[in-house]
Chain A
Amino acid sequence: QAVVTQEPSLTVSPGGTVTLTCGSNTGPVTSTHWPYWFQQRPGQAPRTLIYETGNKHSWTPARFSGSLLGGKAALTLSGAQPEDEADYYCLLSYGGPRVFGGGTKLTVL
């Protein structure tokens, strides 16, 4: 089974910009991994933010964006807000089976 890696923790200042990444031990992440990004606040169910690399849901705040960057999937938060403090997970597909990354704990401080 593939291993998907994320930064364990990151800190961003209010109003600042931060990029979370999602890599794969099988090689570069591409659009054919159909990358997804999820936000999970403490005590809540996950919420889907980005689907298929860079597409936003109707509920996704405009300050979040998804892309491919340097062989990884990336989630960029521009203009961080206190409510963005949460755990973030990526999900990659491997031709059928899917694998989550270990998650990034984002602190807004």
Chain B
Amino acid sequence: EVQLVESGGGLVQPGGSLRLSCAASGFTFSDHFMDWVRQAPGKGLEWVGRIRDKVNSYITEYAASVKGRFTISRDDSENSLYLQMDSLKAEDTALYYCASIRGVHGYWGQGTLVTVSS
């Protein structure tokens, strides 16, 4: 059974940093591109960014709203995905999902909540 479990969310002050993690199991993690998607309270889904696999040089891509502040990385030996979030703003408050959305892979985690507030 495929599982994606996010962790690391919490309350952080504006300008602060937070690192989210996503533990993957039930599939060959190293073979798959991975995405981060967020959802502000009562709002729609927003694509945050993506990291490709080793064959594709671990290339990362980001939404304009987070580019330069957020960094996606992965550790294939640990089957883990990460999202380093710096210079956080109130508008980054959201439920953050880790997802594997490419081709026949269509899996989502349950999300971890990030609240940016003083």
- Chain A 36-58 interface 0/1 with B at a Cβ cutoff of 8 Å (1 = within): 10101000011110011001010
- Whether B44 lies near A98 (C-beta < 8 A) is no
- Whether A57 lies near B104 (C-beta < 8 A) is yes
Interface flag for A100 (CB, 8 Å) = yes
Interface flag for A99 (CB, 8 Å) = yes
B87 to chain A, nearest CB (A): 19
Q: Take A97-B62, A98-B50 as given contacts and tell me if A45 and B109 are in contact as well, using a CB distance cutoff of 8 Å.
A: yes
Interface of B is mostly: strand
Most buried by A among B97, B103, B104, B106: B106
B interface residues, how many (CB within 8 angstroms) = 22
Closest B residue to A104 by beta carbon equals B44
Q: Take A45-B111, A46-B97, A47-B108 as given contacts and tell me if A97 and B63 are in contact as well, using a CB distance cutoff of 8 Å.
A: yes
CA distance A95 to B86 in the complex (A): 26
CA distance A87 to B103 in the complex (A): 22
Interface flag for A26 (CB, 8 Å) = no
Contacts of B101 in A (CB 8 A): 36, 48, 51, 91
B62 to chain A, nearest CB (A): 7
Q: Take A51-B104, A57-B104, A91-B101 as given contacts and tell me if A100 and B109 are in contact as well, using a CB distance cutoff of 8 Å.
A: no
Interface flag for A96 (CB, 8 Å) = yes
Closest B residue to A100 by beta carbon equals B45
Q: Take A46-B97, A51-B103 as given contacts and tell me if A100 and B108 are in contact as well, using a CB distance cutoff of 8 Å.
A: no
Interface flag for B13 (CB, 8 Å) = no
**13 A–B contact pairs at CB < 8 A?**
A1-B63, A46-B37, A46-B45, A46-B99, A48-B101, A48-B106, A51-B104, A52-B103, A89-B45, A97-B47, A97-B63, A99-B47, A100-B44
**B interface with A by C-beta (< 8 Å):** 35, 37, 44-47, 50, 61-64, 97, 99, 101, 103-104, 106-111
